[in-house]
Structure 1
Amino acid sequence: MTTRIRPLALALGLGLAVAAASPDAGAQRKRAGRAPAAPAQCTDFYAQANADWLQAHPASAPDAAASALAGLAERALQQQRELLEEAMRAPRNEVQKLLGDFWASGLDEAAVEADGSRPIAPLLSRIDAIRRSRDVPAAIAALHQVGIPVAFNFAPDVDLRALDRHIGYFLQGGTGLPDPAFYTRDDADTRALRGRYRGYVRQILALTGTPPARLDADVDAVLEIETAIARKAQPAADLTDPFRTYAPVPVAELARRYRNLQLGAFLGAQGVENDLVSLPDPALFAELDAMVQRVRPEPWQAYLRWRVGDAMAPYLSRSFREASFAFRGQVLAGQPEPPPRWLQVLEAINTAAGPMLGREYAARHMSAEARALALRTAAQVHQAQLAALEHAAWLGPEARAEARAKLQALEIEVGTPRRDLDYTVQPMGRGSFGGNMLIASTWRHREEMRRIGKGNAERRWDMLPQQPALAYDLAQNRLIVTAAVLQPPVFDPADPATVYGAFAALVGNQLTRAVDGRGARVDAGGALRDWWTPAERAAWARLGERLAAQLAAQDSPGVPGAKVDGGRVKDETLADLAGLELAWQAWSAAHPQADQAEHQAFFRAWARLWAQQAGGNVAAGRLAADIHAPGPLRSNVPLANLPAFATVWGCQPGQPMRMPEAGQVRVWR
């Protein structure tokens, strides 16, 4: 279907206890002339601030992990579950009625089992009706309409020449393995994977009704079609560059260039009337165009039946689900067992009807007062950043003016997108979970297609309101704060220190992205234009390099003998430091009478965001790949660079949590 995360103080504490108990009088006299030991908050503030959490979440199995933010995500899932349970029992509006029926149909496993493959029977009949080559493009278009992309992908995204609108992007897709290289590499592991994949394709084709006598031929047909697509596709890693996928083409030219694929008719079937699309891989689409004629209808039928069965397998009877999980869950994702049924159903609802659930989630879990406080606090951080521009030493006068204009144009959206959707949906009922999945997926695809066109780029967010998230949207120059993130440990209206020390710091982190090295590639008007000079780029790089040196000197928690990769995590740490600086300025302006205890609570709220435990395997994996510093360093390194922290907590020169002034990195102070 379409879809669019070891405390260090313990050893120190034990060491001090042993020393204090020593009967060696000579040693005591020797220590008398030494400086007193640094207090815990000036040695490892993370461990001191999170002592209770760390005690309640001890390190366990090598593959286990826990964190304060993971706890927030789990709470949001439980809140969604409770909402759906109530919508099932007593819906309060039409959207809740749809959601409640969807939820009930998914939890009724006996009904799902009895339903078998019936939900996809109309789609399979549509495929069986293919008689000639010219029937294939219409079948492809019909499957895209219900949210099952075949042969290729098509989705809205920003027009890089006009960021105020979305256009449709024709992109590679339509294969069942995650990387085109899996179809062409010839090493032993890849051959073994293809063997497992072949078995999975065979299972799904059999479940969709392919006669036993045709199975081998149909499996061959599927793999031949997918291999032909993969041979013309680009490496998966290349698709992360948005400029690589942006190649605007007039729709009229597409219709002439790919007559067999009938792309003009395809767009009409999706309800897209725009005159421009992006198609970055003409060789791939030329191959698809040729395949429409070259490949007989029967192989196309096998391929399309497989794609439907694979896409819908998680939502059908047990035989489909077990086949899908055995390959996609265990072989590809390494999952030992499937999630509980309620979570599977919730994931399905978020995939197909996520914006519906988001609307109801925000109405239930975000009060008007909390939203107003979040908006007000974010605006204060925004103002602190505008003021800080005037003394940012790394910005020259022209870049400072560009940054000011961009920040003045920035918008802040909290809770849900400003523009609601059209919730006109075919009634679902409780009889067929797979049928409801197709109804909801068709609705979501329709709403996605409506994003295409001038003025529709801000139609929705790229995350759901029920997912905890706080992010800067570079294309739309807006800060997005979801409803789900407005709860502890990020946000607590009853605790101003948390609102600033955690939430405001994350806001500052993301607002800095508007004018950092990446943000400087888009100007206030939304044009792609680099408004930094080489001098600004060099100055920003020096800030990162200085932080990288600080980080690289630190032990990596949970990985004995390893140091943190400062180069990999420096950019995110720099954003953390910038956000903390802005949050402190906003807090100081909003609470000028705050006492020492309140100031201390501000910094404690920051450190508590990053509480985490990770088994050895998880810690090693993060060390090798994570772009964020481990929790203890994500807490402590920015704090050690902030003079206000040392002042509030009384940390003295030479103590670990007080970086010497000459070595401090500063972004917005």
Structure 2
Amino acid sequence: MPTPRPLVLALGLGLVALVSTADADAQRKKSKAPAVSQQCTDFYSQANAGWLKANPLPADAGAVSALGQLSDLALQQQRQLLDAAMKSPQGEVQSRLGDFWASGLDEAAVEADGSRPIAPLLSRIDAIKKAKDVPASIAALHQVGIPVVFNFAPDVDLKALDRHIGYFMQGGMGLPDPAFYTRNDADTQAVLGRYRDYVKQILALTGTPKERLDADAKAVIDIETAIARKSKSLADLSNPFGNYAPVSVADATKRYRNLQLGQFLEAQGVKDDLVSLANPQLFAELDAMVGRVKPEQWKAYLRWRVGDAMAPYLSRSFRDASFGFRGQVLAGHAAPAPRWQQVLDAINTAAGPMVGHEYANRYLTSEERRRAAVIADEVREALLAAVERNTWLSEAAKAEARDKVKAITLEVGTPRRNLDYTVQPMGRGSFGGNMLIASTWRHREEMKRIGKGNADRRWDVLPQQPALVYDIAQNRLIVTAAVLQPPVFDVDNTAVAYGGYGALVGTQLSRAIDAKGAQVNAKGELGNWWTPADTNAWTTLGDRVAAQYSAHAYPGVKGGKVNGALVRDVALSDQAGLELAGDAYAKAQPGAKPADQQAFFGAWSRLWGQQVSENVAAERLAAEIHAPGELRSNVPLSNLPAFGAAYSCKAGQPMQRTEAEQVRIWR
């Protein structure tokens, strides 16, 4: 079924279709007004015609997109990399990864291994005799990357963005929302009933006797419910400032003596003297629970947490139980992913940076890395020039913006600072065992991010994941190796490199000095450096962009209209990115021919090719902050005089707004 288009665009396409008939051709000779070309009516459909024809929506898929295909390509490339590492590894890291991959693909060996990989952890838990033994077991499980009772992870110190501190946060629950444990409606109770059955399945698989299953499952649910009752809602957790409450390690250790937080940090290799602990009520409850909950109940809970965390990596009985609840009940998946993808996801979870290191070496050439860095720097220079000529920023804000843009670090391909790839040898005998080896290594490297000067130690995305993002805390642009390929980047096609990749760079660099970027100054200090007039000017621009999108019907949703307020932030950055990339391209290629100009705009539009089912379109209309693909293509282009010039579009035509209607961010 073809995707419905906004009325104004549908009318234009109808006119183009009519002129192909003999009768219409005769009428056109008598008409005073010439037909509007497709490029000036709906550029998206023209630029993506080949892709749309070649990629109909499969019956079993909710959506397909050009960028989704790039992600699929990256997965296949990783699969090829690991296949090669398994057969003929080049170097120690590939040798480890090849063994890891082979152990996961050998399903017979995984089945024979059963629950043996977690046996040492279960024995450690079974050794608990008294309340004072519980905290050491908690710390030991965190060390191998299995967080229990609470979560602990590095994140930026909001008072000193050049460092990370450890955050003690709520966790330890097997359900994704604390409300699951406290609501009494029928749907929630039904999920909780299915969850209780799943807990019993996992406990049985970890060796709990049948006669103890009901009591141990109740102990698990009781412990998690006690945690949930003192936990914050998901909405409260979305505010980073609400989760930031720095305290000294000495104070935290003294306040929660039963939890032995000082010893916990020592076990994780953390030597910092400051942590964040934003929910003292929860940790007071956890501290009391160490003494109040019986050791046998703690053992049931910890056995369950180990079994649940490791279930996807163990024998089929564990995997089937995990998928039956987490895959089907919670996620709504009809069937598990193919085995190779399950193994790849597992390896990326436990050893993703190792894969990323080898992925970049295999799939990113030095010339691609160099060219991508050059273009990013040229877009940065275009942003600096745009700030200089800007008329809506105050002089003080322009000075701060200049300093901040100049200070942006460009990291292309892989993180600037490599990790320590010293990993315990991984044989081919035990996939679950290898998961624990790699997860322990990954946790160790995560803990190294804590402390002054270590905040930029790695990225929060992996090089093998297509991503291009501005890191506001570190004032850096992150460009992964996987994103530097078509349709985003083509080292042999300059127009495409600027129109696709360069525009995406512009969308992200502009975020350094937009309303959110203005919350952090050039020195990395929190504090708004915009004046009220700057904020008002930005709000006005946002309102105008939102209105442009709100004027369109939502493709695929009968009677639906785009929610401009929902998509405005991304829409603003899209507009800004295209403007900046256009400036950079014009400066780098002053003699570009019309065909090259057209290729530049075509590259932008082809980023957003997509086919979406009616159900998915309706879901996106309600919650998606990204506009539909054809509007991400067409709306920002319609604000650019250079686009109209490239295709001889007249002011007032669908793809060329009048000067008064055009939104300008940085031009």
Short-chain TM bin: over 0.9
Could you give the per-residue CA deviations for residues 128-154 of structure 1, whole angstroms, max 9, x where no partner exists? Answer: 000000000000000000000000000
Residue in 2 that maps onto 1:476:
474
Secondary structure (helix, strand or coil) at the match of 1:278 reads: strand
Contact preservation (8 Å) 1:63, 1:616: no
Give the match's secondary structure for 1:164: strand
Shift of 1:425: 1.1
> Counterpart of 2:208?
210
Q: Which residue number corresponds to residue 649 of structure 2?
A: 651
* Aligned residue in 2 for 1:261: 259
Please list every run of 5 or more consecutive structure 2 residues that lacks an aligned counterpart in the other structure: none
Matched residue of 2:97: which SS? helix
Q: Which moved more, 1:107-116 or 1:401-410?
A: 401-410
Residue 243 of structure 2 aligns with which residue?
A: 245
CA spacing shift, 1:196–1:369, aligned 2, 3 Å: same
What secondary structure sits across from 2:164 in the alignment?
Answer: strand
Q: TM (normalized to structure 2)? A: 0.98
Q: Match for residue 78 of structure 1?
A: 76
Question: By how many angstroms is 1:217 displaced?
Answer: 0.4
Structure-2 residue corresponding to 1:514:
512
Go from structure 1 to structure 2 and tell me whether the alpha carbon gap of 1:30 and 1:214 turns closer, same or farther (over 3 Å shift). closer
> Which residue of structure 1 lines up, in the alignment, with residue 135 of structure 2?
137
Which of 100, 125, 130 lines up with 1:102 in the alignment? Answer: 100
Distance 1:257 1:634 in 2: 52
1:334 matched to 2:350? The reply is no
Output the amino acid matched with 1:373. Answer: R
Q: Per the alignment, in what secondary structure is the counterpart of residue 177 of structure 1?
A: coil
Deviation (angstroms), 1:392: 1.6
In 2, the alpha carbon distance for the partners of 1:279 and 1:452 equals: 15
Contact 1:62/1:618 (<8 A) preserved: no
User: Which residue among 333, 342, 345 is the counterpart of 1:344?
Assistant: 342
Question: In structure 2, the residue corresponding to 1:165 is in which secondary structure?
Answer: strand
Across the aligned residues of Structure 1 and Structure 2, the Cα RMSD in angstroms comes to 1.4
Residues of 2 paired with 1:312 and 1:235: CA distance?
A: 27
2:218 alignment partner in structure 1: 220
Structure 1 pair 446–594 and aligned structure 2 pair: CA distance change class (3 A): same
The residue matched to 1:431 in structure 2 has which SS?
coil
Q: 1:644 to 1:14 in 2, by over 3 A?
A: closer
What's the offset of the Cα at 1:7? 6.8
Taking a change above 3 Å as real, the CA distance of residues 31 and 624 of structure 1, as seen in their structure-2 partners, is farther
Q: Conserved in 2, the CA contact under 8 Å of 1:147 and 1:441? A: yes
Matched residue, 1:3: none
1:167, 1:453 within 8 Å by CA — same for their partners in 2? Answer: yes
TM-aligned CA distance change 1:313 to 1:184, over 3 Å: same
What is the match of residue 419 of structure 1?
A: 417
CA contact (8 A) 2:161 2:473 kept: yes
1:158 aligns with: 156
Instruction: Write the distance in 2 (CA, Å) between the matches of 1:95 and 1:381.
Output: 35
Q: Which moved more, 1:443-452 or 1:12-21?
A: 12-21
> For residues 68 and 19 of structure 1, what CA distance do their matches in structure 2 show?
31
CA contact (8 A) 1:63 1:618 kept: no
Query: Which residue, out of 609, 619, 623, partners 1:625?
Result: 623
Residues in 1 aligned to 2:402 and 2:140: alpha-carbon distance in whole angstroms = 48
Which residue of structure 1 lines up, in the alignment, with residue 541 of structure 2? 543
**416-425 vs 245-254, which moves further:** 416-425
Q: Distance between the aligned counterparts of 1:378 and 1:22, measured in 2?
A: 50
Of 80, 86, 90 in structure 1, the residue corresponding to residue 88 of structure 2 is 90
Tell me the SS of whatever aligns to 1:338.
coil
Asked whether the equivalents of residues 62 and 616 of structure 1 are also in contact (C-alpha less than 8 Å), the reply is: no
Identity of aligned pairs, percent?
67
Q: Residue 649 of structure 2: SS of its match in structure 1? A: coil
* Map of 1:126 onto structure 2: 124
Q: Aligned equivalents of 1:22 and 1:167: distance in 2?
A: 72
Please name the residue that 1:284 is paired with.
Answer: 282
How far has the Cα of 1:237 moved from its partner? 1.8
| SS class of match (1:472) | strand
Distance 1:444 1:16, change over 3 A: closer
* SS in structure 2 of the partner of residue 514 of structure 1: helix
- 1:137-536 maps to which residues of 2 (within 5 A)? 137-536=135-534
CA–CA distance in structure 2, aligned partners of residues 339 and 194 of structure 1: 25
Give 1:112's match in structure 2, choosing from 110, 113, 116: 110
Matched residue of 1:121: which SS?
Answer: helix
**What is the CA–CA distance in structure 2 between the aligned matches of 1:538 and 1:290, rounded to whole Å?**
50
Change (3 A) 1:606 1:30: closer
Greater shift after overlay, 552-561 or 8-17?
Answer: 8-17
Counterpart of 2:636?
A: 638
Shift of 1:449: 0.3
Distance 1:31 1:135 in 2: 91
Determine if contact 1:60/1:615 at 8 Å carries over to the other structure.
no
